[in-house]
A = this chain, B = another copy of it.
Amino acid sequence: MSRKAFQRLSLDDRRRSLMEATLVCVAQHGLHGATVRRIAEEADVTAGLVRHYFGSKDEMIRTAYAYLVGQLTARASDSAKQTEGDADLQLRQFLRANVTMPNLSEQKVSLWATFIGRVRYDPQFAEIHREGYREFLNLLEALVEPVLVAHKRPHSAAICKRHAIALNGLIDGLWMEGSLNSGLYSQALLPDILVEASERLLGLPPGSLSIPQATQEH
């Protein structure tokens, strides 16, 4: 009887591979069903490696959570940065990125919710959540301010923050319910609903955050 053949991976590759396997298992079976053995099997290794790379299952799950949060924010942020110059367009892209693929994903919402449920009784999860939320709020605030300025709307720090909080709530809620897709409406509506609602929240003229017709090619 021969042992399983295997190849060594770099530290980063192996860790990422294990984190992604963790996310897959948590999404598929919940924290409860995401056992070390199942995760190891998903990553095509044996269970002992978890200890080797993360010390414990809990530590691996924490790391995977932070990995997920970072990914979500980065996707939206990158989408905004891709379009340079126009403040309206940047905000628009940021908003839309949150309610379209790949961020609009039942699996990601499912994961996110599962982890959020742990924030309350696990201080280390609370810390990861707080950091992620803060970063997202700051990003949003930084995107909102120039838009308000451009449209000559009130834009004190307090007002910007208030708008960012409300917008963030709107984004989170639509992202979540939209991803879970209860079948009560089409997911394709979400970007427009979000953009239009954001215009209203910020007190912008209707259509401000729509694509300028001139630069629209397709």
Contacts and interface: CB of A to CB of B under 8 A. Distances in A.
Interface of A: 27-32, 106-107, 109-111, 113-121, 129-130, 133-134, 137, 161-162, 165-166, 168-178, 180, 182-185, 189, 193-194, 196-197, 200-201, 203
Chain A binding surface SS class = helix
A174 B137 CA distance: 13
Nearest to A199: B200
Given A28-B121, A113-B113, A120-B27, A166 B177 contact: no
Contacts of A118: 30, 114
B133 A120 contact: no
A149 to B, nearest CB: 19
A162 B189 CA distance: 9
A167 to B, nearest CB: 9
Given A114-B117, A169-B170, A180 B129 contact: yes
A110 B116 contact: yes
26 contacts: A27-B120, A27-B121, A29-B121, A31-B117, A110-B116, A114-B117, A130-B182, A161-B185, A162-B189, A165-B177, A165-B185, A165-B189, A166-B170, A166-B194, A168-B173, A169-B169, A169-B176, A169-B194, A169-B197, A170-B170, A170-B173, A170-B197, A171-B173, A173-B174, A173-B176, A200-B200
